[in-house]
Structure 1
Amino acid sequence: MSFVIRRGVSTLVANPSGLGAAANAQRMAKIAKFYEQLPKGPAPQRAPSGPLGWYQAKYFGKNPSAARM
């Protein structure tokens, strides 16, 4: 039996000792907790600040106007 075939068959057999399983489960629990804490839904609208922000909000925002200045 060649080394390649033995290596391929050995990866199909489950690890009976379970080494590393607890670390992987703990890492996945941390990732799941992180994603649970993220805010849900769309991002809140930010209020424009400064003269350029007000100009852009007024003339390029939801209802754009043809009169620029």
Structure 2
Amino acid sequence: ILEIKNRLIDLGIKIIEDGDALVHVSGHPRRSELRKMYEWVRPQIGVPVHGEAAHLVAQGALMSVSGIG
């Protein structure tokens, strides 16, 4: 993790950690966080693969409304 952080810092990226701001770190992003990631990455396809059936269906629906096939 430290190596990745150092590489990002070398690229000029500011690392925000829990001491700097409220950082969501449960491993499961919120819908708003997923939407933002989809905007940044702009995937053409998405495959929900983690979570219970309800989570998979919800993520698939979010992908669909976000224009991801």
TM-score (norm 2): 0.23
TM-score (norm 1): 0.23
Where is the helix percentage greater, Structure 1 or Structure 2?
1
